[in-house]
Amino acid sequence: MKELYNLSKNLRMYRCQYGYTMKAVADHIGIAYQSYQNYEYGLTVPTLQNFIKLARLYDVSLDDLVEE
């Protein structure tokens, strides 16, 4: 599950680059704080819809979210 590790690592990296809190990102994509927190901790994977919202938020491709 290397991709899941990369996803959680990259979500944190992009969030920090933009200066967002986990709550701000969760609010932006319309999910609960705990749900987003689980994405960054690698406990769950975003739905395709939320995955797309995250890519748009950070202006990156879906591939960029899961690659090293």
CATH number at residue 26: 1.10.260.40
**Could you give the CA distance from residue 20 to residue 44 in angstroms, rounded to a whole number?**
20
Domain that holds residue 53: 2-66
Query: Sign of the C-alpha dihedral, residues 68, 22, 61, 52?
Result: positive
Structural domain count, the chain: 1
The predicted-structure confidence for 17-66, as pLDDT tens digits, reads as follows 999 999 999 999 999 999 999 999 999 999 999 999 999 999 999 999 98
* pLDDT over 60 (residue 1): no
Count of C-beta atoms within a 10 Å radius of residue 26 = 19
Count of C-beta atoms within a 10 Å radius of residue 50 = 17
pLDDT confidence bin for 2, thresholds 50/70/90: low
